[in-house]
Every structure is written in C-alpha cells, then in structure tokens.
Amino acid sequence: MSSAAEQEAVREPGTAAGSRAVRGRPPVVWPGAPTPLGARFRVGPDGVAGTNFALWAGGSDSVELCLFDEDGTERRCALTELTHEIRHGFVPGVRPGQRYGYRVHGRWDPWTGARWNPAKLLLDPYARAVDGTFTLPPEVYGHVRDWPEQHVADTVRDERDSAPYVPKGVVVHDDDDWAEDHRPKTPWADSVIYELHVRGFTERHPGIPEELRGTYAGLAHPAAVGHLLRLGVTAVELLPVHQFAHEDHLLRRGLRNYWGYNSIGYFAPHADYSASGTAGGQVGEFKRMVRALHDAGIEVILDVVYNHTAEAGELGPMLSLRGIDNRGYYRLQPDARRYADYTGCGNTLHVVQPHVLRLITDSLRYWVTEMGVDGFRFDLAAALARSMHDVDMLSPFLAVIAQDPVLRRVKLIAEPWDVGSGGYQVGAFPPLWTEWNDRYRDAVRDFWRGALPDVRDLGYRLTGSSDLYAWGGRRPYASVNFVTAHDGFTLRDLVSYEQKHNEANGEGNRDGTNDNRAWNCGAEGESEDPAVNALRRRQLRNLLTTLLLSTGVPMLVAGDEMGRTQGGNNNAYCQDNETGWLDWSLLEQPGWRALTELTARLLRLRRTHPVLRRRAFFSGLPQAADGLRDLAWFTPRGTEMTEGDWYAPAATVGLFLSGRDIPGRDTRGEQITDDSFLAILHAGHRPVGFRLPGPPWAQSYELVLDTSREDQTAAPGTVHPGDATLTVPPRSVLLLRVEE
C-alpha cells in the first residue's frame, strides 16, 4: 500500500460528501495475456507472482483497472494491451484477496445503444468472488436516476463516482484439487430432485450452529445432510447461488430479493451465503459444501439465470455488462435505446453474440470443473434458445452445449418457456435435455381437485409423458415431474388456499399467478376444523404419492414433506424471513412428522423397484407369452379402459405396472425384472367399489399403501380378486403389489 505522502487525494466529480475517493500511485502493469478472461493469480515472467487481468470490452475506447486497498484507496492503471477486443495486463504483486473493478471509457449515445460511463466502477463479469452488497443508491446508475423528466432520464449521463457504493471483485487462488471420483453420477432414471434455498433450508434448523445458519457451511453440516439422507433424495437443486443484486423497487419497500433470480456475477458464489467472509473464502466454503453432499451420495444442481441480469431495462443501474459494452451484451430493440425483453425482467442477454455465449459456457464449465457441481436447471431456457428473434432448437447456445465435452455429460434441465412470443416450448428441447413438465403439474392438481374433464392427459403424465418426449431418442426421464416449485403455493398451501395472499410483497396482491389450480378443502387459510385439516393432510398424501409413483424424474420442494406454509403467498421471491424459511419445528408435530415419514417410505419404495423408475417408455403391448402387457388401465368395474372411457369424466383410475419384462439390462447384462403393482387413484368424495383384475394379471394382491390412513404402519393385508369388490376410501391412493 502506498504511504500517505505518496497518495494523491482526489475529490471525484459528484462524489457524495463523506466518501472521498483517494487515488494512490498507479501500479506497474506488464502486458500479460488475453486468456483466460477474468483475474487469475499466477507466476509471471522471471518468476514474479501477480495477477493477470483480462476483460472483453468490444467497442470501448479504453479500460482502467482499479485496485482497492483495505482503507479504500483506489489505484488505477490503464490496460493498454489489446488482443481481439480483450484488454489485458499482468500486475506484479497482486495476490488473492485483492479487491478490484473496472472503469470503461467510450461514447455516451443511448440512441445508438452506447452507454459507456467511466464514472461507474464495474464488476468484472468473470469475478470469482464479490465483496460487498449492491444497495443501488442514485450514484450507481449510469444515467441520472432522479431526473425530473423520467421519459428521457436514461439519456442523461450521471458523472458521480459509484466506487464507494458498489461491491468489488476479489482475486482468488485457483484450487485444482477437485477429484472427479467424488461425484455420485446418479443415472437420470434413478434421480430424485429436492429443490431448496441455501438460506431458507438452514436458517432455522436447530441442529445447525447459529453462526453457520443460512450459509453453504450450514448446508454441509451433518444435521442438514442427515435430513436429505433420511428422505432419500439423490440431488439438491439450489435456488440461484450466483452473485445477485436486490432490485431497487424492493429496497425502497424495505424488502430484499430472496430467491436470487437477479444475477450479476456468473462465476461468484453469492457472498451473503458465506460463513467464511467475503474476501474469497466463500469459494472454498462452497466447494466444501459440494464435497460434503457428494460424500453423502447427493448431487448438486444449480438453478442458473443466464437469460437476463440485474441491470434491468434502460432505467436500471450500471453494475457490469451495461458499462462494458451495452450493445454487445444485451438484445436491443430496433431503436437501440431500449431493450428487447423476453424475460419480464427488463433485459435479455444477447446469447447469439460469441463473447456472450463464451461468458455463459465458461461459467458453466467453471462450476463443473472447479466447483464440482453436477448439473444445471436453466431459468427461462427458451430465451437462451432464441436465435435472432424466434426460439430455435438449432440455436448457437444449444449447439454449443451439445458438442461441449464437459457440459454434455452433466445434468441439464430446461425451464422450457419464456415470456416472449412463441416462448412456450415444453417437449421441444432436444435429446440430452430434461424439462420441467408443467403439464404434469397441472394435470395432477386438476385431478385431485376434481377439475379434469377426462383422464386422457392424466394417463400420459403418470407414465412419463410419451406424447411430449417419445421422439429423437428421448426417455421418460426427460420429464421432470413436479406438483409444486419455489414459484407458487407450497404443497400445504395448495390444499389450504384457493386465492393468493401476497399482500406482504407490497404490490397490492397484483403479483403472482392467479391460475393456482388449488382447492382449499372447504375453508380459506388455516382452519381449526379437525375434519378440514384431516382432509388436507389426506390430499397432501395423495399428491406426494402420485408424484413419487409416476414415471419420470420427481422433484420435491424443500419443506413440502413436512407441511411448510407461506401463509398463502404464491410469490415469496422477496420474503427473506420466516415466510420463506423452513420451520423445522413442524417435525415435532405428529401429523407433519408422519407426512415426512410417508415421503421417505415412498422414496424407498421407488428406489427398491425399477418398475417405478423405468428407463424406457411403456409400450402397452404384450411382453410375455401369456399376453400380459407392460401397462394396462382399469375401470372400477375391473375391465380394461376403452377409448370411450378415456374421453368420459372419471374420478377413479387403475394403473397396472408389470415388472415381468422391463426394457434394458442391469450392469451385468441381466434382464431386469421386478414386482408388478396396481395403483388405484380415486379423487371422488365418496367411497367406490373397485373389482381387482384377476388372472393373468394377478392371483392375489398385497396392500402396500393406503393414503386414507394417517398411520401407514398398519400391517398390510392380502386381497384376492375373487373376494368381494375392494372398497376404495374417498380421495385416496391404494398401491397393491401382485403376489405370484
């Protein structure tokens, strides 16, 4: 650090009173190298240790690297070397822990999309750690945010220095000791995904030390991992952990972005989830979390947001990409001043541009090869698949992923829609991809609330959605089945509320979907009526059982297995509080503890029986000499369903799954066989008689599960088809195993 005598105190134009920007002596800069992008500590020429800085800044006039000492002193130096539009330089003596940012010089001409403003300190898009939190005062906007004429405010450049108000990137030490053999490598067909929020899952867990709650270290703690193991899930899908910023409209209302779908640093673990400080320690902490989960056999999937950034529309802040090359990083409308918005968040990354595509794929490879993650769920993936305007399954993004030797071998999940024209693409993504299947969600919700006009759609959804995915070599596990997700009601709220109750979000209850497909069981919200609460718990058992018996990859949402509620809030994106966090005290209540135990039992059943996690679609054709088919559907009369039955209103359906001849072979090349099962789903409000199919389907059945029971520990019984018709309780699922 320079001495006081060597420092030159400079009051930057427009700097707020009390935050003097102190300029130190410029550091020595050697030419360095244009690759890799970002800040990489290494040994340079003549064995001198330092950091190489490289920034793609196409179209800019010049770039200044800004280094910040502990006391806030800023030292600037020009990166004069230019290689293929990459500004680069090697700074001797700069070591891990150094905070830094960039100032990029160029034209200010919003009418042509040019928005360079060197008064704004910019976060390196390749920063691997971020120190600080974005608070979005007026100084961090490239334009004068509070200009009286708001319709032209984005065209008036703000000359105030933003450095005192924005987080800085942090140089980190490369760690190349990641061991590939730690990865569980769970096959898709055997996977069970558990969607969770790092803070929300750990913040109130009584078994996690207070100083670790809400952090990566908290999720790595044995108390957290133990719950995942007891349930039997194979993968956690983490809500966004890339560095993100809070939106201005939330900060003005005293709220924060909780979910994290507002990314600004695609290489940096979100600093607020670190128990190790924010000077680079968050990187190692994240890696240790991944290793702990891998040691338990649990994969780590990241929910990633590459479709837009936290810089929003033309009235948004200038944090990184906008100030580096606005026209290069974002899709602009024909007038170039405004942004094309296929995401509903103000901007859309211009993925067709090679440097943007490189940013995304470099980020993905980094999280796989250096951070150890096992896959990704892509938020609004249709926006990434757009070529110039339309969604294109031959788009550069999908083509690059398909041929990349690192990315094509990890788990890839698409949220197969965006908010633009033609953005709904469920079933359209190419082989290699799996998809969130919202048609599964809608059909199952509608069936259990009595709103399906017939059972045709339900039949497809329960058996892997072959109408959507049986093409191009895709398999049933292309369908990620879910009834709830982070976005919408929790499972308990789905059976307790019919209307959203989002008043706490401060948007007049206008936010969040109105299409909830929910049934409150006769009373809106929490109830003291024992009959209402018993019915709700039964509906929860029905929904969970349906999900975990369906063909495809099931996804559970953290807390649904223990009756978590958000009080009817179906858009808790800004509720970083008890509304969004898991309430672990629910496990102390017998009713909710029983639901957790049922979930674990269903997952054990799924894990034990390959007929419930098939790797190929059912054919519906005879698979054996006795003419038994691999899949058959039955009416309560005990007869197979006809075409007319599929088109008629129905509240009851029987699904026979044959385990005699399952396609595929085990690791030793042996044919896979299993028990056969009959599942009866009855959504009616009265009991129904169901005549069980006799030979050749079965000689007798063992009752394995009955969701009408609060207590599932009762001894199962044997039922013979020749006996009296089986009475199916109202609103229940019965699972029967064939006894040979």
Which residues does the annotation mark as catalytic?
Answer: 379, 415
Q: Where are the alpha helices (DSSP H) in 321-376?
A: 321-329, 354-369
The string of DSSP letters for 194-218 reads EEE-HHHHHTT-TTS-GGGTTSHHH
Ramachandran sector of residue 679 (left: φ over 0; alpha: ψ -120 to 50; beta: rest): beta
Q: Where are the alpha helices (DSSP H) in 248-349?
A: 248-252, 281-295, 321-329
Q: CB 501: neighbour CB atoms within 10 A? A: 18
The string of DSSP letters for 134-152 reads ----GGGSSB-TT-SSGGG
Burial class (CB in 10 A: 0-12, 13-18, 19+), 608: exposed
Does residue 554 have a cis peptide bond before it, meaning omega lies within 30 degrees of 0? Answer: no
Three-state DSSP class for 231? helix
Q: How far apart are CA 719 and CA 702, in angstroms?
A: 6
> Any idea which residue has 């990459």 for tokens?
86
Burial class (CB in 10 A: 0-12, 13-18, 19+), 111: exposed
Encoding tokens for residue 647? 């088109």
| Structural element, H or E, at residue 512 | none
Q: Where are the alpha helices (DSSP H) in 316-428?
A: 321-329, 354-369, 381-384, 396-403
Q: How far apart are CA 7 and CA 1, in angstroms?
A: 9
Nearest residue to 90 (alpha-carbon basis) of 51, 64, 63, 55: 51
**Cβ atoms of 401 and 209 closer than 8 Å:** no
> Any idea which residue has 């822990």 for tokens?
97
The string of DSSP letters for 538-565 reads HHHHHHHHHHHHSBSEEEEETTGGGT--
Residues in the chain: 740
Nearest residue to 245 (alpha-carbon basis) of 139, 113, 123: 123
